[in-house]
Amino acid sequence: FDKDGDGAITPEELGLVMKQLGEACSKEDLEGMIKEVDRSNSGDIDFSDFLKMMDPDNGSVQDEMKSAFGIFDKDKDGLIAPGELKELMTSLGEKIGDEEIKSIIAIHDKDGDGKINYKEFETMFKTS
């Protein structure tokens, strides 16, 4: 999501991601989203802000987490397959190879089925 690699997600970068996910947001909406989690008041989302935003223990984030999982789970079978992960990452502009996808899956696939279920998806953000 951090297109310029500076370690922070700007409103413009967040806008691109939201657009790719099918959500059109105004500049004010994007700034408001960032302001909700921007603890340093820098006007962008740094890594610690991102982790806070994705914390599954945050009650308001639980619905966001389920929604995010649903975006990855294209066939709605309750699992994120390697192809689904690669497709979404590619659509977001990430250049990612099959080996990287396999590595991501292997790290977080606790039940060994080669896919990421919701609990494993949630844990990805708790342990990040």
CB 54 within 8 A of CB 125: yes
- Is the pLDDT reported for residue 12 higher than 80? yes
Tell me the one-letter amino acid at 6.
D
How large is the C-alpha radius of gyration of the chain? 15
* 109 confidence band (pLDDT: 50, 70, 90): very high
The pLDDT of residue 127: 55
CB 54 within 8 A of CB 124: no
CB 24 within 8 A of CB 39: no
Q: What are the pLDDT digits (tens) for 24-77?
A: 889 888 888 888 888 788 888 887 777 666 665 555 667 777 878 888 898 999
| Higher pLDDT among residues 106 and 19, named by residue | 106
